[in-house]
């Protein structure tokens, strides 16, 4: 989960405010080590090509937000005034290889320079949307492209000289840790209803405290929540997972219910929020998986099945959900004061569950057993030292008897806290 610290780098070299009859925007000069580290041989070569052909090239979207937050962006996207055809012509003339042409119809060209891929997208405006997809046309107007983006903190551009271009007070919102839609909230949501969940996800990344939402934003979300019913489950699950492992996840999940969105995204109705809040507090700081945070609102296996039907969760996520709802009450810390972990290690030893230890680790996070969690994280599954072949050598040939004897020896081994070796275990047979 994200920590509480959120630092806006104090690295402004110059600040200026620019106005015109049609727009205003705020700019500053960014000079940080995170920004400077982006300038690899590949990016320098890319910049040179665009400069040569007199097209503008800027860093766009989330990478700008991350850089302004003092973080190294994982992915860097670029925007340009060049059309896809103009980019292809430039790259071909420079002998640059282009890959993955699936994004071309949306204006994105991916070029490979110095063993590095660069995604560059032409500035766009939405000419038609249906709440899921948009028909776009290209533009050279940076503000119009910014207008079509979801949140103010994601609508900024950063020139390769470090100049920030901010048309919708995104930098101010980032400083104030505020999450706002660009322009009219309802219109932004109606362009793509998934933006409702993106709002929640980024609230968890940016906001300092839960519950500091603009009333109009929440009203727009409630009024348009039905649109989530038309969004594919896979897209919803991507956003929901990120929200669940961010800050304020319990508050945001409760908000999803308060705004009557749960029914559209595969979550059960009429659930108790109390256990969900308790589990969130228990798991905080232990890096729980999204399903571990979500499972308190899943009342049983049927809810997991319905979630899977709507969201198309992975097989691993589904089996974890089924495991947690099945064992969260009955697989608990044992009474052995010297080894509270033994209940769980015995379960893992006997379990036919695939990857049982990782599931039990998530169960301990759910239960808030921090000490046992640390112990089990260091524990390696011991190998039972006796095989059927060992018993045959002692003259036990009946398959049924071999099976029974192995189970008896396994019980003795478990009682010894897995310390007895093969010879010690086999010696118990002769004594019986």
Share of the chain above pLDDT 90, in %: 80
Closest alpha carbon to 257 in 243, 268, 246? 268
Dist. CA 347–CA 364, nearest whole Å: 13
Q: State yes or no: pLDDT of 27 exceeds 80.
A: no
Provide DSSP, 372-407: HHHHHHH--PPPP---HHHHHHTT---HHHHHHHHH
pTM to 2 decimals? 0.85
Dist. CA 261–CA 246, nearest whole Å: 19
From the number of C-beta atoms within 10 Å of its C-beta (0-12, 13-18, 19+), residue 75 rates as exposed
In 10 A of CB 357, how many CB atoms? 17
Q: Which CATH architecture has domain 1-176?
A: 2-Layer Sandwich (3.30)
**Residue 301 confidence (pLDDT):** 97
Provide DSSP, 218-282: HHHHHHHGGGGGGS-HHHHHHHHHHHHTSTTHHHHHHHHHHTT-GGGTTPPSS--HHHHHHHHHH
Q: Are 283 and 293 in contact (CB under 8 A)?
A: yes
Dist. CA 415–CA 432, nearest whole Å: 17
Instruction: Kindly indicate the confidence band of residue 220, based on its pLDDT and cuts at 50, 70 and 90.
Output: very high
Instruction: Kindly indicate the confidence band of residue 397, based on its pLDDT and cuts at 50, 70 and 90.
Output: confident
- How confident is the model over 226-251, as a mean pLDDT? 97
Q: State yes or no: pLDDT of 226 exceeds 80.
A: yes
Instruction: Kindly indicate the confidence band of residue 287, based on its pLDDT and cuts at 50, 70 and 90.
Output: very high
Q: CATH 3.30.460.10 spans which residues of the chain?
A: 1-176
Q: What is the tens place of the pLDDT at every residue in 82-93?
A: 999 999 999 999
Q: Is 169 left (phi over 0), alpha (psi -120 to 50) or beta?
A: left
Go through the chain and tell me how many residues it has. Answer: 432
Q: State yes or no: pLDDT of 298 exceeds 70.
A: yes
Q: What is the tens place of the pLDDT at every residue in 147-185?
A: 999 999 999 999 999 999 999 999 999 999 999 999 999
For the ranges 66-80, 105-119, 329-343, which has the lowest average pLDDT?
329-343
Continuous segment of H or E residues that includes residue 18? strand 12-19
- How confident is the model over 344-357, as a mean pLDDT? 91
For residue 89, which phi and psi values (nearest 5 degrees)?
-65, -45
Q: Are 100 and 68 in contact (CB under 8 A)?
A: no
Q: What is the residue whose two structure tokens read 């009946």?
A: 398
SS3 of residue 135 by DSSP: strand
Average pLDDT, the chain: 90
Dist. CA 356–CA 183, nearest whole Å: 49
Closest alpha carbon to 69 in 34, 106, 43, 93? 34
**Residue 352 confidence (pLDDT):** 84
**Residue 331 confidence (pLDDT):** 94
Q: State yes or no: pLDDT of 9 exceeds 60.
A: no
CA dist list (Å): 380 to 174, 179, 299, 339, 377? 45, 44, 32, 15, 8
Q: State yes or no: pLDDT of 52 exceeds 90.
A: yes
321 token code pair: 């959900």
Please indicate whether residue 21 or residue 243 has the higher confidence score (pLDDT).
Answer: 243
Q: State yes or no: pLDDT of 50 exceeds 50.
A: yes
Alpha helices for 112-248 (secondary structure H): 142-147, 170-175, 185-191, 195-206, 215-224, 233-244
- How confident is the model over 394-420, as a mean pLDDT? 91
Q: Is 306 left (phi over 0), alpha (psi -120 to 50) or beta?
A: alpha
Dist. CA 353–CA 332, nearest whole Å: 17
Q: What is the tens place of the pLDDT at every residue in 81-126?
A: 999 999 999 999 999 999 977 778 789 999 999 999 999 999 998 7
CA dist list (Å): 83 to 79, 91, 179, 369? 10, 12, 31, 56
């Amino acid at each position: 989960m994200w920590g509480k610290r959120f630092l806006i780098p104090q690295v402004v070299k110059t600040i200026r405010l620019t106005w015109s009859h049609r727009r205003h925007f705020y700019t500053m000069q960014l000079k940080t080590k995170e920004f400077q580290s982006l300038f690899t041989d590949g990016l320098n070569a890319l910049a040179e090509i665009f400069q040569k052909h007199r097209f503008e090239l800027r860093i766009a979207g989330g990478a700008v937000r991350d850089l302004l937050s003092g973080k190294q962006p994982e992915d860097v996207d670029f925007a340009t005034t060049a059309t896809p055809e103009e980019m292809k012509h430039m790259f071909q003339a420079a002998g640059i290889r282009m890959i993955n042409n699936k994004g071309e119809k949306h204006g994105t060209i991916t070029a490979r320079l110095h063993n590095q891929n660069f995604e560059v997208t032409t500035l766009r405006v939405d000419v038609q949307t249906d709440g899921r997809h948009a028909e776009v046309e290209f533009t050279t107007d940076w503000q119009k492209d910014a207008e079509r983006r979801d949140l103010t903190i994601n609508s900024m551009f950063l020139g390769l000289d470090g100049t920030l271009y901010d048309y919708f007070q995104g930098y101010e919102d980032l400083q104030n840790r505020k999450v706002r839609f660009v322009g009219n909230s309802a219109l932004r949501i109606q362009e793509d209803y998934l933006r409702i969940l993106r709002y929640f996800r980024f609230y968890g990344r940016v906001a300092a405290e839960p519950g500091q939402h603009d009333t109009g934003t929440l009203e727009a979300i409630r009024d348009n929540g039905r649109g989530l019913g038309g969004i594919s489950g896979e897209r919803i699950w991507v956003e929901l997972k990120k929200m669940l492992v961010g800050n304020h996840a319990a508050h945001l999940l409760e908000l999803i219910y308060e705004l009557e969105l749960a029914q559209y995204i595969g979550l059960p109705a009429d659930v108790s929020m109390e256990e969900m809040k308790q589990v969130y507090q228990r798991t905080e700081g232990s890096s729980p998986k999204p399903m571990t945070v979500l499972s308190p609102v899943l009342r049983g296996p049927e809810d997991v099945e319905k979630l899977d039907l709507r969201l198309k969760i992975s097989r691993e996520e589904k089996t974890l959900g089924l495991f947690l709802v099945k064992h969260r009450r009955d697989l608990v810390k044992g009474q052995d004061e010297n080894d509270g972990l033994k209940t769980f290690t015995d379960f893992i030893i006997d379990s036919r569950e695939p990857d049982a230890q990782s599931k039990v680790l998530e169960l301990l996070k759910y239960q808030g057993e921090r000490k046992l969690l640390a112990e089990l994280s260091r524990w390696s599954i011991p190998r039972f030292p006796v095989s059927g072949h060992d018993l045959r050598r002692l003259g036990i040939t009946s398959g049924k008897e071999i099976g029974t004897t192995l189970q008896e020896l396994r019980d003795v081994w478990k009682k010894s806290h897995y310390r007895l070796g093969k010879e010690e275990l086999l010696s118990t047979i002769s004594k019986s």
